[in-house]
Amino acid sequence: MGIRRQARESALQLLFAQDRTPLSETALAAFWDVSEAPEPARRYALDLANLVRAHQEELDQVIARYAENWTMDRMSRVDRNLLRLAVCEMFYVDDVPVRVTLDEAVEMAKAFGGEESGRFVNGILDRVAREEAARVTGGENLSTKVS
């Protein structure tokens, strides 16, 4: 497994844990004590988790726009935090192709989420990439960057 994949999984676990209660420094240290992620993955995971937290309100608004008949509270904690992570990476991490973000998110949804999580996450992220994310790229639709 690559460094970025390990980082995304660690970031998802951190976001999942922080979804209800912020992690203390002690809890964060304990998390890393049991993690098998190497140092570069840990740094990227923390960067991603902090970026999600910094933009969470905006990310939640974007996700809610495309999650027809679903409120953020109704989504499973895994799906909700995975969507936040993926949309954040699509909007704010320039060196990761959108297709990679989409594929990774769907694979993680299948691994960590429920039976329908892969399809649910894919449907929302695909719409975000095609429609909403154009504003982040100065008018260029993110789906044109998918390669």
The pLDDT value recorded for residue 135 is 58
Q: Check whether 29 has a pLDDT greater than 90.
A: no
Q: What is the dihedral of CA 62, 85, 87, 104, to 10 degrees?
A: -140
How many domains are there within the chain?
A: 1
Residue 64 in tokens: 């809610």
Confidence band of 137 (pLDDT split at 50, 70, 90)? low
More confident residue, 23 or 6: 6
Residue 92's CATH number: 1.10.940.10
Domain coverage including residue 50: 3-145
DSSP category for residue 145: G
More confident residue, 142 or 107: 107
Nearest to 45, CA basis, from 5, 84, 90, 86: 5
The pLDDT value recorded for residue 78 is 95
Confidence band of 87 (pLDDT split at 50, 70, 90)? very high
Estimate the share of the chain in helix, then strand, then coil, as percent rounded to the nearest 5. 70, 0, 30
